[in-house]
């Protein structure tokens, strides 16, 4: 990993920690099978394909959102969708990366 990759990773870690301090909801967008296998503490599970159908429920949380998945690809899609719909969301990447900061 180059210097820019390390800087980017540190920035993302700091952003995740800031969002957790703000009371963010951790939204895990993996499949039910992946969720059943293992998931983070205090995470909420909504499969990526159903996020648009549950937008109003997500909006009602009234909190910032950290989207997570297995690798960061699906959570990136969810984050972009949520942002496009006026929500405060960041991509947390793999769920384990965020879970390490949850008490």
CATH of the domain at 88: 3.40.250.10
Task: Give Cβ neighbours of residue 76 (< 8 Å, ≥ 6 apart).
Answer: 67, 91
> What is the extent of the structural domain holding 11?
3-99
In whole angstroms, give the CA distance from residue 11 to residue 25: 19
Q: What is the pLDDT of residue 80?
A: 99
% of residues, the chain, pLDDT over 90? 86
Q: How many structural domains is the chain composed of?
A: 1
Residue 90 Rama label (left phi>0; alpha psi -120 to 50; beta): beta
Q: Nearest 5 degrees, angle CA 6-CA 16-CA 57?
A: 140
73 touches 7 (CB < 8 A): no
88 touches 65 (CB < 8 A): yes
pTM for this entry: 0.90
Q: What is the mean pLDDT of residues 51-62?
A: 98
CA 19 to chain centre: 10
Q: Is 92 helix (H, G, I), strand (E, B) or coil?
A: strand
With a cut of 70, say whether residue 6 has pLDDT above it: no
When the pLDDT of each residue in the chain is averaged and rounded to a whole number, the result is: 92
Q: What is the pLDDT of residue 11?
A: 64
């Amino acid at each position: 990993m180059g210097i820019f990759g390390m800087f980017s990773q540190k920035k993302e870690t700091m952003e995740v920690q800031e969002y957790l301090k703000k009371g963010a909801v951790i939204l895990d967008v993996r499949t039910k099978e992946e969720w059943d296998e293992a998931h983070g503490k205090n995470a909420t599970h909504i499969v990526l394909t159903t996020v648009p159908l549950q937008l109003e429920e997500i909006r009602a949380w009234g909190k910032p959102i950290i989207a997570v998945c297995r690798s960061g690809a699906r959570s990136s899609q969810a984050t972009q969708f949520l942002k496009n719909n006026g929500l405060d969301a960041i991509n947390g990447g793999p769920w384990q990366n965020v879970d390490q900061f949850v008490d």
